[in-house]
Amino acid sequence: MPKAWIQERKRDYYYKKAKEEKYRSRAAYKLLQAVKKYKFISKGDVVVDLGAAPGGWIQAASRIIGKNGFVLGVDLKPIKPFLQDNIQTVIGDINEEETLQQILSILPEKADVVISDVSPNISGIWEVDHARQIDLAEQSMKIALKVLKPSGNFFVKVFQGDMFDDFVKKVKEHFRVVKIVKPKASRAKSSEMFVLGLFLKPSS
């Protein structure tokens, strides 16, 4: 890792806060801030978290849903286990049908919310990274359409770029209300945005 990047990270407000509050990633605050504003995860909810390693969003979701909810985290990489019985994780590629089957077999019931912070390995070539991210966001939505309850919610990371508007249109086909969200904890210079689809339509 470049030295300047490590120094910048150490000075970062949310990096320090995550360390103090024992979140596994500063990304946890992006989810917490978005939920605070739009209330798309509630106590007792069943949540599927795609691209969940190291587990910051899992922890944030778990604190919101409490003891009666359930969180399932999915990632290509193993996630260090949690002590709570109502948090489970699986290793899986969201592009594989087998991963969808695993999700469906583990969930106690269909999900209230699907959240996805999935990111490709960044190549540094902006068009390539944007296209890969859009692919992963579309794949996340396909999973959401199969695992969500009627009126369920979907929250997904997308990089800005020329395919962004088309993706938002697709989300609008399936969800009654769609919001574009840039939480304070998401660095201003980063092209990442989050698309929130609220209330899955019955036809989906």
Ligand X SMILES: C[S@@+](CC[C@H](N)C(=O)[O-])C[C@H]1O[C@@H](n2cnc3c(N)ncnc32)[C@H](O)[C@@H]1O
Q: Candidates 18, 28, 137, 178: give the one binding ligand X (CB under 6 A).
A: 28
Q: Candidates 12, 17, 42, 54: give the one binding ligand X (CB under 6 A).
A: 54
Smallest distance, ligand X to C-beta of residue 55, A: 5
Per CB under 6 A, which region of 4-12, 32-40, 52-60, 170-178 contacts ligand X?
52-60
- Residue 69 interacting with ligand X (CB under 6 A): no
Indicate if 157 belongs to the active site: yes
DSSP string, the chain: --HHHHHHHHH-HHHHHHHHTT-S-TTHHHHHHHHHHH--S-TT-EEEEES-TT-HHHHHHHHHH-TT-EEEEEESS-----S-TTEEEEE--TTSHHHHHHHHHH-SS-EEEEEE---PPP-S-HHHHHHHHHHHHHHHHHHHHHHEEEEEEEEEEEE-STTHHHHHHHHHHHEEEEEEE--TTS-TTS-EEEEEEEEE-TT-
Q: Candidates 14, 25, 167, 196: give the one binding ligand X (CB under 6 A).
A: 25
Binders of ligand X: how many residues, by CB under 6 A?
A: 22
In the complex, the residues that contact ligand X under the rule CB under 6 A are: 24-25, 27-28, 51-57, 74-77, 93-95, 117-119, 136
